[in-house]
Structure 1
Amino acid sequence: MALFGTQAASASSTTGDTSKDVEVPSGALPGDSISDLMWSPTHDFLAVGSWDKKVYIYEVINGVINGKWVFEAKGPVLCVAWSLDGTRVAAGDSEGNLSLVDLRNAGAGPVVEAKSFQAHQTGLRSLRWFKSNNSEYLVTGGWDKKVKFWDLNSANPVAEIECAERVYSMDVKDQLLVIATAERHIHMVNLNEPTKIYKTIQSPLKWQTRVVSCFSDASGFAVGSIEGRCAIQYVDDKNTTLNFSFKCHRQQDTTQRDVAKVYAVNAISFHPVHGTFSTAGSDGTFHFWDKDAKHRLKGYPEVGGSITATAFSKDGGIFAYAVSYDWSKGYSGNSPQYPIKLKLHPIVGDECKPRPGTKKR
């Protein structure tokens, strides 16, 4: 078990700077907690889903972020995703609806009309676009324990998978689909054979899974849980000796010796160029890591509230993160005064570069 996540961020070389982070003005922010965000793969557009039933699309020009488009879903938005060509945005909501907009048809005004239909019987928790046999598809995962594949030429899926439990998180990289469900099940699917679960494992972490995220080279994935831990897992059985887990997003209790406060890991994002990754959590901090060197590159100070979602821009030059209530303390932990923020952190220098001499896998 690697414990590199427990090291204090006292050394200046590992303490990150957020003083240059750009914040979206309050008047352009969502009206409720931010559930998900994703950068366009082709432009500096950022799609942001919120519990206020809307998806906000921002444009970043020369470090300045401005509202570009907005569309409304039928229920609180749980997930958003861009198509691979950057022309369409999909959103899933708590009622199981799939909403789609084609930005090529967007008018001069900011409001875009979405086409919506019922895709899952209950909440649509996660979605991703992928390409197979030169065609683009959308995969959706719901709390109805189903993962469905769509070509969007009809309101019926072209295929589906029955999962072991409710889908909590999914990610796709190349032909690897990873599905994390309730009760700590993790399914792996080869998208060349999308109707078959290639492998199922139990999460190496002991408590509820919050997020899975595929490595940049699709050789494996990272798992984050509510217990302030992250696990690195490789798909190929030949690489199981490289699997490990580590503690993160924990704080020493100043009043009790040998007691740590534990926070959920809400988001994990991999850098598209360097293959390093970020974790962010309920403690309001984010960190950059080198999994191959088992080393923390940078740790950043608290941002004033739980971080609910993160993403690197298409070239890895900007790290976006959302601050809002994450429901980790239930209904009673929320209040109208809880901050809602959307911030952009410019990646400077070697913040996300692997340690010198690290072999990139």
Structure 2
Amino acid sequence: MANTGDATETDLQLPPFVDSLSSLAYHPTNSNLLLSSSWDRNVYLHDLRNPTAPRKLGLRGAILDVAWAKDSETLAFAGGLGKEVRTVDFNSNETQLICKHDDAVRCVEWSNELNAVISGSWDQTLRITPLDPSTSQPSPDPIVLRLPHKVYSLAVSRTKVVCAMGGRAVWIWDIPALKSAIEQGKKGAEIEPWQRRESSLKFMMRAVKIMPNDKGYVTTSIEGRVAVEFFDPAPEVQAKKYAFKCHRQVVEGVDTVYPVTGLAFNPVHGTFATGGGDGTVSVWDPNAKKRLRQFPKYPAPVSALEFSADGNSLAVAFSEQDEGGATTAAGSGQGGNGVWVRSCGDECRPKAK
């Protein structure tokens, strides 16, 4: 598929949304299933084979993040302004409380290794809620990790938990050590992060994602920048980290900088996509330090990105109320809130050397 022409000609467009999109989550094995969450208080389950009829289930308060439950095509976890994490069951159309926070839940992730839901909140905590392996019931006593700042973004892999916070703080936990501490009955203050870092980005972080090879992570900021970082503290590895500018445009003679709101790794090729307040999506090769391509502009600022498990599709959520909306929607003449799915097999493959 060429990267020329209008996005509308090639993308599968899901039915429009009434309010801004907050997050996307492809099913970990079934690339036809996509979750989305919205400020309209609903979690949506889209079957891309029948995209016109998504299923939806509402919660109290706008939803800020959603994640798939283990081994299920109808069960998810969601959190948001209701200050709770809940399961969302599209079979029974019911929800169940997983854990409560003292402020909005910004991030929800599932960890297979811990068999637990990990949630990050503006109440300056991460909460780890193990589920009983036989009953799937949540532990009544989640592990509470106190943090120095509000949580803005959270990423979980097989071996790491990376939390991007206010104050440019990035804390990293090693999952085997975390699992051992939990099994020993340790509680919040007794569980230390593996690393405490300061972001190399000077402005507030918007997104963090871990590389598919588990060797590092990428963060984005509100000031049109992306940083590529590595876990190994060895000086020769740390020397490889770098940051770059993106999502900047000259608008009416003024150099305009947009927040980088969307971030997703292609699980097959190891490349990553960024989406910005300028309504554009770019694909980057982190090893070659090059942009592979930029897709045609979307109708409004990009709010979330997600690759399917097979790496062949990229879901792009855009929302007219997101940052940069006044200038970008005018440029495209459309606006609105939507999710478009792009087939992108070879577009995200690194160029042969």
Q: Could you tell me the TM-score, scaled by structure 2's length?
A: 0.86
1:253-305 CA-partner distances (Å, limit 9, x unpaired): 452xxx52100000110001010000001100000000000011111222121
The amino acid across from 1:124 in the alignment is: V
Partner of 2:117: 138
Distance, in Å, in 2 between the alignment partners of 1:185 and 1:121 is 21
CA distance in 1, matches of 2:106, 2:6: 33
Correspondence for 1:86: 72
Distance verdict in 2 for CA 1:42–1:70, change over 3 Å: same
CA contact (8 A) 2:121 2:150 kept: yes
Distance 1:159 1:91 in 2: 18
User: Distance in 1 between the 2:21 and 2:352 partners?
Assistant: 36
Matched with 1:356 is 352
Equivalent of 2:259 in 237, 261, 264: 264
Among 59, 69, 88, the alignment partner of 2:47 is 59
Q: Pick the aligned partner of 2:100 from 96, 119, 122.
A: 119
| CA distance in structure 1 between the partners assigned to 2:351 and 2:177 by the alignment | 37
Write the deviation string for residues 184-217 of structure 1: whole angstroms up to 9, x where unpaired.
1011111122232111111111111111011011
User: Gaps spanning 5+ residues in structure 1: where?
Assistant: 1-12
| Deviations, residues 37-95 of structure 1 (Å, cap 9, x unaligned) | 1011122211110001100100012xx52434211111100000012423420000113
Give the secondary structure class of the aligned counterpart of 1:275: coil
Match of 2:238, SS? helix
**Contact (CA 8 Å) 2:301, 2:325: kept in 1 or not?**
no
Distance (Å, rounded) in 2 between the aligned partners of 1:35 and 1:101: 16
Q: Percent identity?
A: 30
Q: Secondary structure at the match of 2:29?
A: coil
8 A contact 1:215–1:221 mirrored in 2: yes
1:210 corresponds to which of 206, 211, 215: 206
Q: Provide the secondary structure at the position in 1 that maps to 2:161.
A: strand
Instruction: Assess, with a 3 A threshold, how the Cα gap between structure 1 residues 312 and 305 changes in structure 2: closer, same or farther.
Output: same
CA contact (8 A) 1:78 1:94 kept: yes
Q: 1:50/1:354 Cα in 2 relative to 1: closer, same or farther (>3 Å)? A: same
Q: CA deviation at 1:116?
A: 3.0
What is the letter of the counterpart of residue 349 of structure 2? Answer: K
Task: Say which SS state the counterpart of residue 192 (structure 1) adopts.
Answer: helix
- Decide which of 190, 204, 227 is 2:223's aligned counterpart: 227
Give the superposition deviation at 1:102: 3.8
What's the CA shift for 1:32?
Answer: 1.0
- Deviation of 1:345 (Å): 0.5
Other structure's SS at 1:169 match:
strand
1:251 maps to which residue? 249
Work out the CA distance in 2 between the residues paired with 1:330 and 1:311: 21
Distance 1:59 1:330, change over 3 A: closer
Amino acid at match of 1:295: K
Query: Cα–Cα, structure 1 residues 17 and 96, in superposed 2: closer, same or farther, change >3 Å?
Result: same
Distance change >3 Å, CA 118–CA 228, structure 1 → 2: same
SS at 1:127 equivalent: strand
Aligned to 2:18: 31
CA distance 1:330–1:317, change in 2 (3 Å)? closer
| Alignment partner, residue 4 of structure 1 | none
> What is aligned with 2:134?
none
Give yes or no for contact 1:129–1:138 (8 Å, CA) kept in 2.
yes
The verdict on how the C-alpha distance between 1:98 and 1:125 changes in structure 2, with shifts beyond 3 A counting, is same
Q: Write out aligned runs for 1:295-310 (5 A).
A: 295-310=290-305
Check 1:209–1:343 CA distance in 2 against 1; reply closer, same or farther (3 A cut). same
- CA distance, structure 1, for counterparts of residue 56 and residue 150 of structure 2: 29
Distance 1:210 1:171 in 2: 12
What is the alpha-carbon distance in structure 2 between the residues aligned to residue 86 and residue 285 of structure 1?
Answer: 33
Contact 1:250 1:262 in 2 (8 A): yes
Cα distance change on mapping 1:56 and 1:14 into 2, 3 Å = closer
Q: CA–CA distance in 2 between the matches of 1:351 and 1:318?
A: 10
Tell me, in whole angstroms, the C-alpha distance in 2 between the residues paired with 1:203 and 1:14: 33
- 1:95-110 correspondence to structure 2 within 5 Å: 95-103=82-90, 106=91
The 8 Å contact of residues 282 and 328 in structure 1, kept in 2 or not, is answered as: yes
Distance 1:177 1:236 in 2: 14
Q: Does 1:178 align with 2:174?
A: no
TM-score normalised by length of structure 1: 0.84
Give 3-state SS (helix, strand or coil) of 1:221's partner.
strand
Aligned equivalents of 1:203 and 1:15: distance in 2? 35
* Paired residues of 1:16 and 1:300 also in contact (CA < 8 A): no
Would you say the 8 A contact 1:97–1:118 is kept in 2?
A: yes
Distance 1:229 1:14 in 2: 23
Q: 1:17 to 1:274 in 2, by over 3 A?
A: farther
1:20 paired with 2:10, answer yes
Name the aligned partner's letter for residue 20 of structure 1.
T
Q: What is aligned with 2:152?
A: 168
Aligned-partner SS, 1:71: strand
CA 1:14 to 1:54, structure 2 compared with 1: closer, same or farther past 3 Å?
closer
Aligned residue in 2 for 1:314:
309
TM-superposed deviation, 1:308: 0.2
CA contact (8 A) 1:270 1:277 kept: yes
